Structure 1
Amino acid sequence: MDFFNSALGKNITFLRPAYFIISGFIGIPNINYYYVFLCVVYVVSVLGNMTVMAVIYLDYNLRTPKYVAVFNLAFVDLVGSSALVPKVIDIFLFNHPFIPYNDCLTFMFFCYTCLSMQSFNLVALSYDRLVAIIFPLHYQVKVTHRFMLSLTFFFWVIVIIAHLITVGLNTRLSFCESVVINSYFCDHGQMYRLACNDNTPSFVIAKLLQCLTLWLPLVFVLLSYLCIGYALSKIATVQERMKAFKTCTAHLSLVAIYFIPVLITFTMSANIHPNARIINLSLTSVFPPMLNPIIYVLQTQEIKMSLKKILKIRKQCKSAEKKVIIK
């Protein structure tokens, strides 16, 4: 961050507090029950995403371009949940609301990076379904391992650079009065609004990032499904349409889980009580990482078959070990 500041201007003094205070859940009635719920959600998220990653890694049949994106989504969900939920529990349940300045910026970077990558992963999966249905004969050529790995790497680079700039701009802010962030984590919007100097660059980058990581992916997903719907309408039989559409159900479920709560919260934020808004936003952050692996295990035939095969092999190995011990 010192390099960032020296590049933008020399001999400038910024008033940086020793710490920020996270106050989002303080004062909400019966909030301890919500912390218990967050613990359960986190455990399910970790187990679910690790299971999906392990199944994809162990089953050679799942080494396809589509499952590169699915593996990356599970990895992002795992990292995002681990970056957010344990810290939230520590802040509020164990009463440690004071976060050092640099730790708060790091916390912000990891949370926003993982949230943004969730959105871009949905774009990658949407492109996969688009090509598979509209250009089935060219799917093997258009969607290759190299292409999906390159696309995933490209998304990671964009997200990391964008959020490094975001955090870097926040180091240019001076905090003369309040250091209380009314959110459940080091929220970028809540933080830059506390600044007593010009926060216009932070405001502009926030709007640009909102377009880049929320609206553009949503528009791409919607347009891709309009094209998919048009292509399916050309298929002669209803059975063939349903068979093709079934390959999209898992992805559509992920899209709905991720985008609908965010859109509701943003569009109705003016009419929502601040406490309700914080709860809604926190649920938006923790629910997709928990539900994504469940949806893929339940709705994706390949993963279900792979999981059954792995469990069957493990059961057979245990039976063989017992026979050896008995002998």
Structure 2
Amino acid sequence: MSGANQSSVSEFLLLWLSRQPQQQLLFVFFLSMYLATVLGNLLIILAISTDSCLHTPMYFFLGNLSFVDVCFSSTTVPKMLVNHILSSQTISFPGCLTQMYFVSEFADMDNFLLAVMAYDRFVAVCHPLHYTTKMTHQLGALLVVGSWVITNLNALLHTLLMAQLSFCADNMIPHFFCDVTPLLRLSCSDTHLNEMMVFTEGILIMITPFVCILVSYICITCAVLRVPSKKGKWKAFSTCGSHLAVVSLFYGTIIAVYFNPSPSHSAENDIAAAVMYTVVTSMLNPFIYSLRNKDMKRALKKVISMKIFFSFQ
């Protein structure tokens, strides 16, 4: 990969954390959130895999989302923490492209899984009598595999295009991981093709799942409003509440940062959004999905009690 790139830069410097006046506090902050993310999502995966009552498409998608969230956070945060401990901000050129690839893949996969979960809720609410025949395990597996294929191809495309660029002198990235936008700003070659792909194919990858989510919830809302009893309406909405909260958090960050016309939009805004994507949202997902879900709380209590039992053996 590096051979195809005629670049005089062999490594980059990730300078965001080193430029912050409260480095130690931020280090503890990111470490705590990362540990909470890994522990929370692994507990969700363990609960779903060990409880036969949770072997349904809805929880299958949730287990995949938890797996992606662990991978997403692990792609960026550990490298930043290790660099801080070693007092080094360097990342090699191949390492930077590899990190960019996985960041793009897992961010898109989060997006696609939220759309798949919205479709699952649409079938459950709008076609409850046909749910088991329409949302089969085979269809669920096909939707997840198809999402992985699309996101891998998208990440590979942007990584290969980035590998063709030249980086001549400036190798300082004001970020805590390698992302497409800050890397394009450092390139000394023509980035027109890269930018065009970001604003066409890249936006299409983000907008298509969002439209699917929007349409699904419009149909869900119309179906719920036709339910005569208040209890029935509340039950229907409660099945979608957790997912809707995650969707609002995920896309709320995108809208607040990237669709903000304010001239104050800067690299700090990009970093704030990146922290939300890679750390905060991934950390909150297990809490959001478990606090209002009786089946999930029961499965988690069973897993935790089993761990406590075996620890005393």
User: What's the TM-score, normalizing by structure 1?
Assistant: 0.89
Which of residues 24, 29, 49 is equivalent to 2:41? 49
Deviation at residue 26 of structure 1 after TM alignment: 3.4
Deviation at residue 68 of structure 1 after TM alignment: 1.3
Residue 194 of structure 1 is matched in structure 2 by 186
Gaps of 5+ in 2: none
Does the Cα contact within 8 Å between 1:181 and 1:187 map onto a contact in 2? Answer: no
Residue 143 of structure 1 is matched in structure 2 by 135
Deviation at residue 45 of structure 1 after TM alignment: 0.5
Question: What RMSD, in angstroms, separates the aligned Cα atoms of the two structures?
Answer: 2.2
Residue 9 of structure 1 is matched in structure 2 by none
Runs of 4+ with deviation above 6 angstroms: 314-319
Does the Cα contact within 8 Å between 1:49 and 1:75 map onto a contact in 2? Answer: yes
Identity of aligned residues (%): 31
Q: Which amino acid aligns with 2:278?
A: S
Residue 59 of structure 2 is matched in structure 1 by 67
Does the Cα contact within 8 Å between 1:175 and 1:194 map onto a contact in 2? Answer: yes
Which of residues 264, 267, 271 is equivalent to 1:274? 267
Does the Cα contact within 8 Å between 2:37 and 2:70 map onto a contact in 1? Answer: yes
Does the Cα contact within 8 Å between 1:265 and 1:281 map onto a contact in 2? Answer: no
Q: Does 1:302 align with 2:295?
A: yes
- State how far apart, in whole Å, the 2-side matches of 1:25 and 1:211 are: 29
Deviation at residue 281 of structure 1 after TM alignment: 2.6
Q: Which moved more, 1:121-130 or 1:216-225?
A: 216-225
- State how far apart, in whole Å, the 1-side matches of 2:303 and 2:224 are: 35
1:288-322 residue CA offsets vs partner (Å, 9 max, x unmatched): 11011111111222111222344456677889x7x
User: What's the TM-score, normalizing by structure 2?
Assistant: 0.92
Does the Cα contact within 8 Å between 2:103 and 2:179 map onto a contact in 1? Answer: no
Does the Cα contact within 8 Å between 2:9 and 2:169 map onto a contact in 1? Answer: no
State how many pairs are aligned.
312
Gaps of 5+ in 1: 6-12, 322-327
Larger radius of gyration: 1
- After superposition, the Cα gap between the structure-2 partners of 1:194 and 1:304, relative to the gap in structure 1 and judged at 3 Å, is same
Q: Does 1:18 align with 2:23?
A: no
Residue 219 of structure 2 is matched in structure 1 by 227
Q: Which amino acid aligns with 2:296?
A: I
- State how far apart, in whole Å, the 1-side matches of 2:116 and 2:68 are: 14
Deviation at residue 146 of structure 1 after TM alignment: 0.6
